[in-house]
Amino acid sequence: GYFCLQLAAMRDNPNQPVGSREADLSDTRLFRQFNPFVLPGDADGAPTWNNLLADLRETMLRARPDVIVLPHPALDPHPDHICA
């Protein structure tokens, strides 16, 4: 539900919603409606850094993974993946 190429802008202004660059969308709930469990960001649907972190935290607490794999910037230069 968070929008492509917007992570750096979200990080730089953590409370400011950052909508899609491609479509006239600024609410993550359009995509979240297909998920079976509620996340903190669903309360207002704002695509903010703080909501993203709250959603990731809740997901990690539910899943309790033993390993988290992230892309390496040398192999995957997508700006959002580097920001991750």
| pLDDT, tens only, 9-64 | 999 999 999 999 999 999 999 999 888 899 999 999 999 999 999 999 999 999 99
pLDDT at position 84? 81
**Which residues lie below 8 Å from residue 29, measured CB to CB, with a gap of 6+?**
1, 42, 45
DSSP codes of every residue in 40-63? GGGGT----HHHHHHHHHHHHHHH
Question: What phi and psi, each to the nearest 5 degrees, are found at residue 66?
Answer: -85, -30
pLDDT at 83 > cutoff 90: no
Annotated domain spans of the chain: 7-83
Separation of alpha carbons 41 and 17, rounded Å: 11
pLDDT at 73 > cutoff 90: no
Residue 17: both structure tokens together:
């919603």
pLDDT at position 27? 96
- State the DSSP code for 29: H
